[in-house]
Structure 1
């Protein structure tokens, strides 16, 4: 199914996009405010184009339709959202120990919501390269008090839990989480897929090869952008076959996970290929090593400006979730982009 991919190009926004669609020289990207006027057609390793959308062969129209059809909201508010990161770990690469105390985490969460976070993502296990493994029980002891405190104090704010363990997933959903964000795309714990198939939450499937401990040995790709989309597509199909409705699924290309610096840059440059999956996209670039390499900023906590610039590249996809540490900065950048492009 994923041998054929369409890469949208020649983007148009706002009134220009609508006029081009009416004139037949552009197509709406996921039926949103962005349109694309050019494409590249990719079949296996063969690439045709760039070509205008009017020149797309009839046999490719079913594939093109994946880019035109609306993306489900996965049970979350429509439109782009800033997703605030709450790491309750002592060894996070960026904010180690900052939210390890539940009281501090809840205070930080309130500030994030005030600054513009549309949802919060709570994690109790570090997934940085070479991170130490913690037991599911330890993970829940970190996440549980924060999740329960937030649900009581801010009942209207959507909450996500970043976990790959069914033990934590089950307890998090019972405590009021609305999204499960799994870096293993349900590949780590065999009990995760049947558990989530029986629930009604949103599910994020992230691209990664290997594990956080071994992923740096799995960076051989033929074409990193196409390979990531195809491998994520297989994860989406497996989740659907296992009983999770497609409209509940979101995808994360996994920047920094089993990818070199050069591959991360290529993946970011060609991010619109993710539109082939027909799922809402989670963009998790915040303060990562690739931002440091591009900017020369060594301290992860000082990479928020670079994070914002990179994250804005997801906005043409319509309904992305921008997962960041600095919510205020990202929310401001997102509003400016929307104000200019949507007019």
Structure 2
């Protein structure tokens, strides 16, 4: 199989004949052709097969009422006692609602509510406990806002309860691998779903993650999950993909994926990037405490922006929004 990675650019002086990347703010004129166990080569965009070029250039459909022609921020709201960065801070429903409102006020396009930590080593949470943590918070947010709300769960019953409470998007970090009924729930709901790659479970995913080729293995996994979703009745334009930075990956794996993010545009879906405050940032920047990793998180978010990533999942909403606004101004876009 041959893979094609567009080389994204954002310079305001765009040459004639440059192609739009996923209908967004990046453009490209060259593509890296990649084959397993073979050489990589730069080729002109016009030499890419037509069906591949269509997926690379076609505008992404709106998701949860949000156009994908400019970057979107997903604010993280963990209603858990043990999440790696903010565990215990928003277990109280009033504190969770206040945090959601605060993130919306500074530019969060989506609030992602999670009731089960998926940090390395985290223990599984029972379905009823997870529903009890998430559904009331989603209902409270929905009562005062028509903004997008995502439920971060691997479990179909939790997803059903969240949909009933007002969720407008699903976020399955197992990409149907944990609970096969999630595909039908997503299909029946008509809501968009994010499918993320993870190797192993939170309990063991960092024990010894190995790949033949981390970039291509994850691309193939996500392509397979998309095909599974389509068979279940979920159209591609309601699917978001996430390469799963930090979920069963070493530092080198993470860096390889981040350097080659634009490959995933070839799947024809919007892309979500979740790197906020993760351990690899602390390793590279000598910041052992998660709360000290905001500058590095923004640096990686801006890298994703330059790769055409449509949705960025963050803890530091106001700071990342400000960085994105400045990046847009420097690209020559009108405020």
TM-score higher than 0.5 here? yes
SS of the residue 2:331 aligns to: helix
Structure 2 equivalent of residue 294 of structure 1: 284
Structure 2 equivalent of residue 74 of structure 1: 63
- Bigger shift: residues 35-44 or 132-141: 35-44
Shift of 1:329: 0.7
Taking only aligned residues, the RMSD between alpha carbons, in angstroms, comes to 1.6
Mapped to 1, the partners of 2:177 and 2:332 lie a distance apart of: 39
Mapped to 1, the partners of 2:282 and 2:188 lie a distance apart of: 41
Structure 1 equivalent of residue 126 of structure 2: 135
Shift of 1:322: 1.0
Are the counterparts in 2 of residues 161 and 177 from structure 1 also a CA contact under 8 Å? yes
Structure 2 equivalent of residue 282 of structure 1: 272
Mapped to 2, the partners of 1:153 and 1:65 lie a distance apart of: 40
Is it true that 1:39 corresponds to 2:24 in the alignment?
A: no
Shift of 1:62: 2.3
Are the counterparts in 2 of residues 275 and 317 from structure 1 also a CA contact under 8 Å? no
Mapped to 1, the partners of 2:323 and 2:109 lie a distance apart of: 15
* 1:128-173 C-alpha deviation (Å, 9 max, x unpaired): 111011101100111122111111122x111001001111100111
* 1:21-77 C-alpha deviation (Å, 9 max, x unpaired): x3x3x32211323211221112333234123334x26xx332232211222222331
Mapped to 2, the partners of 1:199 and 1:172 lie a distance apart of: 11
Structure 2 equivalent of residue 210 of structure 1: 200
Mapped to 2, the partners of 1:43 and 1:238 lie a distance apart of: 24
* 1:85-132 C-alpha deviation (Å, 9 max, x unpaired): 000000000011001111101011111111111110000000011101
User: Which sections of structure 2, spanning at least 5 residues, go unmatched?
Assistant: none
Structure 1 equivalent of residue 5 of structure 2: 7
Structure 2 equivalent of residue 86 of structure 1: 77
> Which runs of at least 4 in structure 1 moved beyond 3 Å after TM superposition?
316-319
Shift of 1:260: 0.4
Is it true that 1:121 corresponds to 2:112 in the alignment?
A: yes
Shift of 1:217: 4.1
Mapped to 2, the partners of 1:296 and 1:184 lie a distance apart of: 30
Is it true that 1:65 corresponds to 2:63 in the alignment?
A: no
- Bigger shift: residues 75-84 or 261-270: 75-84
Q: Count residues with an aligned counterpart.
A: 331
Higher helix share: 1
Are the counterparts in 2 of residues 90 and 97 from structure 1 also a CA contact under 8 Å? yes
Mapped to 1, the partners of 2:278 and 2:287 lie a distance apart of: 11
SS of the residue 1:126 aligns to: coil
Is it true that 1:339 corresponds to 2:329 in the alignment?
A: yes
User: Which sections of structure 1, spanning at least 5 residues, go unmatched?
Assistant: none
Mapped to 2, the partners of 1:275 and 1:119 lie a distance apart of: 21
Mapped to 2, the partners of 1:76 and 1:4 lie a distance apart of: 34
Shift of 1:319: 5.8
Mapped to 2, the partners of 1:190 and 1:323 lie a distance apart of: 25
Give the TM-score normalised by the residue count of structure 2: 0.94
Are the counterparts in 2 of residues 80 and 320 from structure 1 also a CA contact under 8 Å? yes
Are the counterparts in 2 of residues 13 and 342 from structure 1 also a CA contact under 8 Å? no
Are the counterparts in 2 of residues 73 and 280 from structure 1 also a CA contact under 8 Å? no
Are the counterparts in 2 of residues 209 and 218 from structure 1 also a CA contact under 8 Å? no
* 1:192-222 C-alpha deviation (Å, 9 max, x unpaired): 1112111111100001122111222462122
Within a 5 Å distance, the mapping from 1:172-321 to structure 2 comes to 172-217=162-207, 219-318=209-308, 320-321=310-311
Are the counterparts in 1 of residues 136 and 165 from structure 2 also a CA contact under 8 Å? no
Mapped to 1, the partners of 2:176 and 2:264 lie a distance apart of: 19
Are the counterparts in 2 of residues 226 and 273 from structure 1 also a CA contact under 8 Å? no
